[in-house]
């Protein structure tokens, strides 16, 4: 069975602090995909990044970086020099490659609050 665990329910930081959001996943498949989405107060889920199970390269995009480690089944997300606009709920998600149309399974989300 597939499962995504985001152990941190809420994180509060002050602007310019770095923050890491943890994600641990479980799957029996050897081929799978991992995602991070941001959900601001407006409600729409905004795609941030995807990673397939064969690509363990870490990625940096501006202030965002992602660390994928298959050995620990983790796909952690770091925001450097956080800003108030980063305040949102962040979801990690997993999709197995069993068949076309397989849905994304989400973790429970981490609410990030960045204060000025």
Partner 1 sequence: DAMVIQNPRYQVTQFGKPVTLSCSQTLNHNVMYWYQQKSSQAPKLLFHYYDKDFNNEADTPDNFQSRRPNTSFCFLDIRSPGLGDAAMYLCATRGLGMNTEAFFGQGTRLTVV
Interface with partner 1 (CB under 8 A), residue from 43, 62, 71, 116: 43
* Segment interacting with partner 1, rule: CB under 8 A, options 16-24, 38-46, 62-70, 72-80: 38-46
The residue count of the chain comes to: 116
Of the two residues 79 and 92, which places its CB atom closer to partner 1 in the complex? 92
The residues pairing with 105 across neighbouring beta strands, listed in sequence order, are 94
Contacts of 71 (CB under 8 A, 6+ apart): none
Residues contacting partner 1: total by CB under 8 A: 26
Q: Does 61 bind partner 1 (CB under 8 A)?
A: no
CA atoms within 13 A on the CB side of 68: 19
* Segment interacting with partner 1, rule: CB under 8 A, options 13-21, 47-55, 70-78, 80-88: 47-55
Q: Does 35 bind partner 1 (CB under 8 A)?
A: yes
Q: Does 104 bind partner 1 (CB under 8 A)?
A: yes
């Amino acid at each position: 069975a597939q499962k995504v665990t985001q152990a941190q329910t809420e994180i509060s930081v002050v602007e310019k602090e770095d923050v890491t959001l943890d994600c641990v996943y479980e799957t029996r498949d050897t081929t799978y995909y991992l995602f991070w989405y941001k959900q601001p107060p407006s409600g729409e889920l905004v795609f941030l990044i995807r990673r397939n199970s064969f690509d363990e390269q870490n990625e940096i995009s501006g202030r965002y970086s992602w660390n994928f480690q298959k050995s620990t089944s983790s796909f952690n997300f770091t925001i450097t020099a956080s800003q108030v606009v980063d305040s949102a709920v962040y979801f990690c998600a997993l999709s197995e490659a069993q068949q076309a149309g397989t849905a994304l399974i989400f973790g429970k989300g981490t609410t990030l609050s960045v204060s000025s």
